[in-house]
Structure 1
Amino acid sequence: MKYFACFLSMKDEEKSQKYRPQHLDFLKKMRHEKKVLMNGRFTDGAGGLIIYRANHLDEAIQYAKEDPYIQVGAREFEIHEWELVSEYNFD
């Protein structure tokens, strides 16, 4: 399993507020399915970060495209494979 850092940059603050509950439900479902390792917002309002768990980049991109924020145009995304380095085992 590989990890992918997905930056969700703010595109439309009004849509982000409106669709926040759907976005949070999506993240909860993805964490339950072990497709999201962690996520959080940037405190400066610039957007947020999601760490996806996927077999390859195309799979992670597909996950990002399923996010309600992306589907309604509230956020844009940029995604990169990410190498996790930690003393903790998250698996």
Structure 2
Amino acid sequence: MKYYAVFLPMLDVELSQTYRPEHLEYLEQRAKEGKILARGRFTDGWGGMVIYKAGSIAEVQQMVDEDPYIVHRARTYEIHEWEMLLTE
């Protein structure tokens, strides 16, 4: 399993507010499937980030393309494979 950081910069504040409940519901479903490690918004209003767990970038691309924020063009995105290192 690989990790992918998906940055979701804001395109349209109004659309983001409108589709936020659907976006959060979508992420909750992916989390229940074990596809999300972490998620959250940036406090400066820039957008948010989701850390997906997947076997390939194509799998992540498909999930991101189904996110209501992307479907309704409230946000855009960038996907980067992430080599997570934990420290104590």
Matches within 5 A, 1:32-47: 32-47=32-47
Q: Secondary structure at the match of 2:22?
A: helix
For residue 31 of structure 1, what is the aligned residue in structure 2? Answer: 31
For residue 21 of structure 2, what is the aligned residue in structure 1? Answer: 21
The CA distance in 1 between the partners of 2:65 and 2:38, in whole Å, is 17
The CA distance in 2 between the partners of 1:62 and 1:84, in whole Å, is 22
Q: Secondary structure at the match of 1:75?
A: coil
The CA distance in 2 between the partners of 1:63 and 1:5, in whole Å, is 13
Question: Does 1:56 find its partner at 2:56?
Answer: yes
Task: Please state how far the C-alpha of 1:86 moved relative to its aligned partner.
Answer: 1.2
The CA distance in 2 between the partners of 1:31 and 1:51, in whole Å, is 10
Residues 42-71 of structure 1, C-alpha deviation per residue, up to 9 Å, x if partnerless?
000000000001101111111111100000
For residue 75 of structure 2, what is the aligned residue in structure 1? Answer: 75
Task: Please state how far the C-alpha of 1:30 moved relative to its aligned partner.
Answer: 0.6
Match for 1:56: what amino acid? S
Segments of structure 2 that go 5 or more residues without pairing to the other structure are: none
The percentage of aligned residue pairs carrying the same residue is 52
Q: How many residues align?
A: 88
Segments of structure 1 that go 5 or more residues without pairing to the other structure are: none
Q: Normalising by structure 2, what TM-score?
A: 0.97
The CA distance in 2 between the partners of 1:49 and 1:6, in whole Å, is 5
